[in-house]
Structure 1
Amino acid sequence: MRITALAPLVCSIAAFILGMLCLFAGHKPGFLEDYHIVTLNTSTLGYNLVPTTTASGAAAATPTSLLSWIEEEAKNITSEIENEFETELNNIAGDIADKLASELGIDQWYSLHLMDYCEGTYSPNATAKGAKKNVTSCSKQTAMYHFDITQTIDDQLHLGKYNISLTDIDWSDKLQDGINALNVAMDATFVLYAIGIAAAGLAILTSLIAFFLHGSRLISFGNWGLASIAFIAFLICSIIITIVQKKFTSIINKYGNDIGLYAHRGSKYLVITWVATAVMFLAMVAWVVEFCIGRKKRSREYTEKRSGGWRHRRSDESALRRSGV
């Protein structure tokens, strides 16, 4: 048995499990929901439709005017009253967000996973610090799933109390362009995750073979090849996810904040995909070391064998000369 094969074996198992989590996170309500790629906060979507009144009595239709007025008034109150007042304002704002989403007929958040999306509400309300997400439903899990949140929200708005559309809340075409780019990237990511997981799975099996078979450099080389394939696949996936999260949230927040739409990156998903990449890299390095050690050991055995054979011939010749032959 080769004890040294245990290290890359453990790394391959870890990468395989983490890769499966990246693939299947959120495949049903409540299953690793926190491990989303991105989440869209729609609890304030449509705030630009809510008329607000300024001090002069003029009506405004921007969601930021209400929040700015509240913040300015809160700053002008003494510190003791300010704390109580801010608490009340947060509760009021949370109630407004909850009621607004309910009236429009949409959920308060939509989270994207690799093969589906989930939706739900915030608890106790959308603006509460550390609010928890309650999952109401998830879409059907599909390979190379396309996140068509525009159509989903539009359909829900039409079914809502006011029967409005995305056009009524000034939904920008730039938002759809960002979603389309996201879907293309997710297609490539799914394929690469599948390759990485398959290679890591095969590496587990071949690592077990290497563990029980002693001294086979061919097996070490094959394991290195599988580990390299898995590492490269996970590395590209992790890079794509990192870039997509940054670009997508930037586009959504740039063109969506004015209508109450916000995007948040899934940091936990980013952690597990990079950890999977790291452990697969360790497995790859371990097999390189194992291959080199096996080669050095075989070279030493060959040298010792030749040296032993040469000394044996010299001894035989000396014995013959002494006997006069």
Structure 2
Amino acid sequence: MTDELTEHWADPIDRIEKDPQTALVYRLLDATGRDLSGELRSAYRRDAVRQTMPTAPGTLKICAEGDSWINILWPFSAPLGYDMTFFDVIEQRPDLYTRGIAWPGDTFAEILAARDYRQPLASGIYDFFIFSGGGNDILGGSALAALLKPREAGAGSGDPRAYLIGGRLDAALSRLSEGYNTLAADVAALAPDTVLLLHGYDRPVPLAGEPWLGLPFAAKGYDLETDARLIAEIIAFLVDHFYALLDKVAKNHPNAEVMDLRGIVAGRWTDELHPQQDASTDIARAFLNRILPIHV
């Protein structure tokens, strides 16, 4: 988040809490516990639209939409242990014009329903549109719990598929595929010269007592220590299938490209699903290597 968009946010926010049911989604609460997420989101969108346009000719222009991998409300989330996102890192560059409209309380379905990206993209000025979404559909919370079979149902198999409810996973991936194909087509119609950059996250690591990965696995009888290898294989299976889906979307839509971020975080997580500062910097570098004419 840029400074001019965040100067007034600290006053009403008393705490930022994870939505235990929906991965990558946060709720903003005041001192009385009232959820401010909706009204602050609306105010943030209004402020984002008011950002001044660049005047320097030739400045690369980047718009970003999505979830808390784009916007983690940093620096206000810093006391909770969160670091800058990769897009926060990109925003630090003075040679780029960036507009972030992502909100950490939005799910993939909500983003597609609202289509707040349409107004900025319709301007036709953006060279790149970075989109981050869909992790809440398969990578944590109640969505992950719905996909997992009980530990014993796998009967000791070494195949991750034995521990997942195939029909539900297929349905989730089908919804994601439909959504991403709709997004890519919409972006192409709005801004045919804008490159849509997609990603499928990295392979996260569950933490004991944490709501998005640790608790769903524990509730189904998995031991985070003794079953660590099996759990890692299940998570890798889900992430890899997400990337396979995105690759198909990119093949169907010439304006879309997939940024493969697997292996970049390499264990450097602030929590179960968000990268530490140095990992965010490495992810930003991967995007900048694609965006900039001369690699960084």
Q: What TM-score comes out, normalization by structure 2 length? A: 0.28
Pair member with larger Rg? 1
Higher relative CO (Cα under 8 Å, sequence separation at least 6) belongs to: 1
Greater helix share, structure number:
1
